[in-house]
Amino acid sequence: MEEFTRDTVYKDPQKNIKKFKFDQKVVNAFPDMIYRSVPGYRTIINYCGSISSKYIKEDSNCYDLGCSLGASTLSIIECNRDTPFCLHAVDNSVEMIKRLEKIVAESKEERVICTLNDIMKHPIENASLVILNFTLQFIPLCDRQKLLSKIHDGLNPGGCLFFSEKIKFPSQKNNNLYNDLHHEF
């Protein structure tokens, strides 16, 4: 069983703040980090698994784009035990994919393919379900429509894009409320 640590990545004040990256330090604390920083994350992951069973079809592909440590991947597998399909867990962090490969190996799950790749370059085909949880924010604004179009084109008729993301409201009042609620969390 994989061991993870409490998130202390930004515990101490830093004079020179480096660009955030999903390195080994972040990977080690990621479960604690994400569950504490994204309100409702557990619910999203559970719902991802539940809704997947309504869309995944036999012999189709499912993609978890920006999979990190595979919380969505594992939830989907758990909710689709008897369905033959292939789940492509794709991330561009070497450390994330290495850790996910260990997690998947321990689970003895053969339907998951862990892939180190840029999701902009990864093919999407024969997809009954594509997961994009808190990933689009890391894609340059000028490339987002291209990614969404690629996903659309790779989805089978009746397929589903399960999409979770931070949002910005047109109204500053609503943005302030949203940010205040997030900080209270």
Copy the structure tokens of residue 42: 């557990």
Which tens digits make up the pLDDT trace of 79-97? 999 999 999 999 999 998 9
Q: How far apart are the first and last CA of the chain?
A: 29
CATH number of 41-164: 3.40.50.150
The model's pLDDT over 42-84, given as tens digits with 9 standing for 90+, comes to: 999 999 999 999 999 999 999 999 999 999 999 999 999 999 9
Closest CA to 56 of 129, 140, 133: 129
Residues in the chain: 185
Amino acid letter for position 79: C
**Closest of 38, 28, 21 to residue 7, by C-alpha:** 28
pLDDT at 22: 63
pLDDT at 162: 97
Beta carbons of 71 and 96 less than 8 angstroms apart: no
Q: Where are the domains of the chain?
A: 41-164
pLDDT in tens, 148-163: 999 999 999 999 999 9
Cβ contact 68:35 at 8 Å = no
